Structure 1
Amino acid sequence: MTLESASRLTEALLALALLQQSLEHLRGGRAERALFLTRMALCVAVIVGAVSPWPLVGLIGLVGLAGLSLVILQRFQGPYNGGSDRMGLLALWCLALSRLAPTPALEELFFGYLGLQLMLSYFISGGVKVVNPDWRSGRALADVFRFSAYPVSEDLRRWADRPRALLVMSWAVILFELAFPLTLLSRESLIVGLVVAGAFHLANACLFGLNRFFWTWLSVFPAVLWLQARLL
Structure 2
Amino acid sequence: MSLDIAIRLTEVLLSIAVIQQSLEHLFGLRDERVLYCIRLLLALLLLAGVQSQWVSLALFVSVLYMLRRFQGPYNGGSDLLSMLLITSLAVVHLVPEGRWQEYVFGYLGLQVVFSYFKSGWSKVIHRDWRTGQALVDVFEFSVYPASEATRGWAFRPRLLLAMAWAVILFELLFPLVLLSREALVVGLAAAMSFHIANFVLFGFNRFVWVWAAAYPSLIWLQARLDVLG
TM-score by length of 1: 0.94
1-structure distance, mates of 2:148, 2:56 = 41
Query: How far is the alpha carbon of 1:82 from its aligned partner?
Result: 0.5
Q: CA deviation at 1:210?
A: 0.9
Q: Does 1:97 align with 2:91?
A: yes
Q: Does 1:115 align with 2:143?
A: no
Aligned AA (2:21): Q
SS at 2:173 equivalent: helix
The residue identity in structure 1 corresponding to 2:192 is G
Distance in structure 1 (CA, Å) of the matches to 2:120 and 2:31? 40
Is the 1:126–1:175 Cα contact (8 Å) retained in structure 2?
yes
**Residue 200 of structure 2 is aligned to residue 206 of structure 1:** yes
- Backbone CA RMSD of aligned residues: 1.1
Q: Is the 8 A contact 1:129 1:136 kept in 2?
A: yes
Aligned partner letter, 1:115: G
**Distance in 2 between residues matched to 1:44 and 1:104, nearest whole Å:** 27
Segment of structure 1 superposing worse, 150-159 or 88-97 = 150-159
In structure 2, what is the Cα distance between the partners aligned to 1:201 and 1:128?
A: 18
Inter-partner Cα distance in structure 2 for 1:130 and 1:34: 42
Cα distance in structure 2, aligned partners of 1:147 and 1:30 = 33
Counterpart amino acid of residue 26 in structure 1: L
- Which aligned pairs between 1:58-137 and structure 2 lie closer than 5 A? 58-137=52-131
- TM superposition score normalised by structure 2: 0.95
What residue is the counterpart of 1:31 in the other structure?
A: 31
Compute the displacement of 1:155 (Å).
Answer: 2.3
Matches within 5 A, 1:215-230: 215-230=209-224
Q: Which runs of 5+ in 1 are unaligned?
A: none
Identity of aligned residues (%): 54
How far, CA to CA, are the matches of 1:214 and 1:32 in structure 2? 23
Shift of 1:65: 0.6
- The structural deviation recorded for 1:156 is 1.3
